[in-house]
Amino acid sequence: MLDKYMKPLTINGITLDFTKETFVMGILNVTPDSFSDGGKFNSVEAAVAQAKKMVADGAKIIDVGGESTRPGYERISDEDEIARIVPVIQELLKEVDAIISVDTYKANVARAAIEAGAHVINDIWGAKAEPEIAQVAADLHVPIILMHNRENMDYGVDFWSTAKADLDESIAIAHQAGVPDRHIILDPGIGFAKNTEHNIAMMQHLKDLVELGYPVLLATSRKSMIGNVLKLPVDERLEGTGATVVYGIEKGCHMIRVHDVKEMARAAHMADVLVGKRLYKEEA
């Protein structure tokens, strides 16, 4: 059944009704080495200023990350990651009217972030790197975003069936921990454990992903798939990102995770009108 877990979620006073709007998640990397904007926002003051700008530009969710996940990234300790993100989260709660998600795959970091006031866990390993993170989500009654990821790129003869089986495993981990379906969000994992052909295939299966019935977060912003197709560097991938966002909305995605909030919020708004999520009303 389509949209079987798609009841509106009210988080931090903000209602996410996925039938009426595609929600924008703004990326806030408080790291020195992220692939696109490393070092720009790794002070509390700079991070808060950027978050305020993203909210003004249309973001309803701010995704705070304290460890780079670019190709070849180096894992940092839980303590270092917590030290990076908790002061930012605490200040954001005072200064910004938004839902705060924490971009981590580590259970201890997720717990510290949620206890500091964050509202959502965004796990790039789909609760497989540290399954205890699903228990954190269950214990603290917060949604968890389960991204498709794997240790290798061996998808066999049927990419989608293998990728779906991977996601089914993540969902099962969440269920076993006691996370209710209404608190599960899926992410196709564009750019993770996939070459360009795999990424394109996953995009072409977005409708199948949406039909699993959970809200879907699409995170394509400035990704290598766009750079490889268009032969463009990271700082020239705005139009390509826009194309993926509009395509994803047409296929039924419910949330987008982006760097360029103003431009992508406008693209999403236009696409929402065209697919019938939002109604256009003539100004009086």
Per DSSP bridges, beta strands 99-103 and 255-258 are unpaired
223 is catalytic: yes
- Give residue for tokens 């992508």: 264
C-alpha 53/C-alpha 211 separation (Å) is 34
Exposure b/e, 211-245, CB count within 10 A at least 16 = b: bbebbbbbbbbbbbbbbeeeeeeeeebbebbbebb
Residues 6+ apart with CB under 8 A from 45: none
* CA 267 centroid distance within chain: 17
Residues 6+ apart with CB under 8 A from 118: 64, 89, 100, 101, 102, 142
Name the catalytic one among 106, 111, 251, 257.
Answer: 257
C-alpha 99/C-alpha 60 separation (Å) is 6
Per DSSP bridges, beta strands 14-16 and 9-11 are antiparallel
Name the catalytic one among 150, 223, 251, 277.
Answer: 223
Q: Is 151 helix (H, G, I), strand (E, B) or coil?
A: coil
Rg of the chain taking only CA atoms, in angstroms: 18
231 is catalytic: no
Query: What are the residue numbers of the active site?
Result: 223, 257
